[in-house]
A = this chain, B = another copy of it.
Amino acid sequence: MTMTDVDSTFRALADPTRRRIIQLVASRSLSAGEIASHFRATRPAISQHLGVLRSAGLLSEQRKGARRLYRAEPKALAAAIEHLQSFWPGRLEALKIEAERRERQRRDQRSR
């Protein structure tokens, strides 16, 4: 069975630890050790997660001396999002907009 990009992406996103890793390095790049320090799991375990995320294109790696800095790659995630949105052409957009409207409404009501 072949292994498409979409497939590896969704498989990578299936693990909660990996999703948290993406969040960690979304706005700033961190070294493997710094990332690992945020979790209970051992460092090798995190290193394997980093490998999965990287080969799925969700993380970019930049070597800086002895360490490797990881940073999230938004394009891969955007691709996954678009893939999900393509399931219902148009309808999901509408749902999201409505949800935002409700959110705004609730917020306004609270701050009144």
State the A residues within 8 Å of B (CB): 4, 6-7, 10-11, 13-14, 16, 19, 22-23, 26-27, 72, 74-75, 77-78, 80-82, 84-85, 87-88, 91-92, 95-96, 99
Contacts and interface: CB of A to CB of B under 8 A. Distances in A.
A94 to B, nearest CB: 9
A96 B84 contact: no
Total copies of the chain: 2
Given A13-B14, A22-B87, A77-B87, 20 more contacts: A4-B16, A6-B16, A10-B10, A10-B13, A10-B14, A10-B16, A13-B84, A14-B14, A23-B87, A72-B87, A72-B88, A74-B88, A74-B91, A77-B84, A77-B88, A77-B92, A78-B99, A80-B84, A81-B84, A82-B96
